[in-house]
A and B are shown apart, each in its own frame.
Chain A
């Protein structure tokens, strides 16, 4: 494949500039995203156990519900029944929260019956640490309100897409001959270049998926509004498909009991494992949504697929997002989402996405290092003995931002088991951003190589400490396969960082 030389050099310039603008945001997005692959497990790990009486069996759940509705009539508007016994033991059988916007953080109340049959309820102790890391991922690390952050994220996603296109045009043709060459002895620039190319080529499909899906996530609201404006028939009102009169008058006694709902689901969709039933009161009618998973199919959400049921008969009324029962069109659409979330193929794919995500983060880091090394080489060749302010500035950012992000997230996970409710959102963000700020500032006030060494070591030690913090807080996390693997990951990442810090120490 031969591409004209001027096109290649144009796109090489484009690649450097869009890369350098977006790389640090993308690092945070990918690192936090890789961790978010196990958001649920981390949340279970970090949240203290519920201090309520043991949950009732699913058969006795209607009694509990009646007591809840007597004492808290507002619970009828939006409540969830947990079907899985293990999950119910951890988070309660029945929980409710005020209906709100999808991104609003609202307290969740959970209830059980004590031995005398009295209602006991309290706030569900839900650690918001994992949720915070997920939002860090969605907002490319910016402490902004949701809407402006999403626009910035969209901008970064567009730059990322252009960086991918330009990277492919500029480098792919010449790459085949030196793909596997990692020239460790060819100087810093060549080493970073080879790393960057190797990672870039092998994760290209993953990055194409991520770039397009994140542009879609950022701008889908605007695009849907635009479509509605362009395509609506005259006089047609917006009707949300989910909102179309699927429900029935809200009278608790006529609703199908949870056991019957579970059985009805299992009969209608064998292989689908229902996890939760969520009842919502909309326009005076009860809507029932069942969430669950089926390891044979892609899931629309990060951890679950959904179906809408008739709450009285238990019949499925919408299977648009039900794994294995979608129409071809919806199944294709689900694939786009599943490819972003890694919610297909079970645990193995999840771990694959962790590796790809961490690899992606490292790809952006190598890109920046490459840029610094090239600039320095150019400056030296023009006879400058000292590096320019621009190079120095970027060098400080390239070390401070990623390592600050790693250290900040690790510190949040270290602290969360000791905080009340496993860490509220405000506390957790305060911890993250103060660590992040210290790392950023330290890069600018210390000599560069000393700062990098210090940052690597500190970030490494904080990360290494995560499993010990969990053990100290007597969380039985190390026993579970996922918890154990995540701890192992923390140890590996931490050790790699400390090693890199020590090695740099010996070099200089």
Chain B
């Protein structure tokens, strides 16, 4: 590790975790929901577990986003993860339906 982290440049990192992170959280919820065969009935057991999962994932992303070397890296990594996760979601959904 050559670069030293600092709290400077927090805004792009936090915005990446808030926006791209939220979209990523949705994608993950979708993937886990599809794979676990969750029904989408509000307040059903699986819907509630997924809700807590979403909370946990988003909070973890917000808490760890400061570890990215730069805001650019944060956006790149999270965008990449989004493409991957949403790709899996589309496949999983096609398989389930």
Contacts and interface: CB of A to CB of B under 8 A. Distances in A.
Interface residues of A, number: 43
Given A6-B6, A10-B6, A215-B59, A227 B66 contact: no
A386 interface: no
Contacts of A233: 39-40, 97
B62 A224 contact: no
Nearest to A326: B45
Given A162-B63, A333-B45, A227 B29 contact: yes
Given A10-B6, A158-B62, A231 B43 contact: no
Contacts of B41: 238-241
Contact of B30 (A11, A162, A230): A230
Contacts of A241: 41, 43-44
B50 interface: yes
B77 interface: no
A interface secondary structure, majority: helix
A6 B2 CA distance: 11
B87 to A, nearest CB: 14
Contact of B45 (A14, A166, A232, A329): A329
A333 B6 contact: no
Given A14-B66, A226-B26, A240-B43, A161 B59 contact: yes
A315 to B, nearest CB: 21
A158 B7 contact: no
Contacts of B67: 7
Contacts, number: 109
Contacts of B26: 226, 230
Contacts of A219: 55
A162 B51 CA distance: 19
A226 B63 CA distance: 23
B interface secondary structure, majority: helix
Contacts of A2: none
Contact of A158 (B33, B54, B59, B93): B59
Contacts of B48: 333
A236 B10 contact: no
B10 to A, nearest CB: 7
Given A212-B56, A228-B42, A231-B34, A333 B49 contact: yes
Contacts of A224: 42-43, 47, 51
- The CB with the most chain B CB atoms within 10 A, among A13, A227, A320, is that of A227
Nearest to B56: A212
A242 B44 CA distance: 10
Contacts of B93: 230
A350 B68 CA distance: 41
Interface in A247-273: none
B38 interface: yes
B59 A231 contact: no
A336 B52 CA distance: 9
Interface string A207-223: 00001100110011001
B45 A330 contact: yes
Given A232-B40, A238-B42, A227 B50 contact: yes
Given A241-B43, A241-B44, A333-B45, A227 B33 contact: yes
B7 A10 contact: yes
Contacts of B19: none
Contacts of A231: 30, 33-34, 38-40
A165 interface: yes
Contact of B62 (A17, A161, A236): A161
Contact of A223 (B4, B6, B55, B89): B55
A327 B59 contact: no
Given A6-B5, A211-B59, 4 more contacts: A161-B63, A165-B64, A228-B40, A327-B45
7 contacts: A6-B5, A161-B62, A166-B63, A212-B59, A216-B55, A227-B29, A230-B40
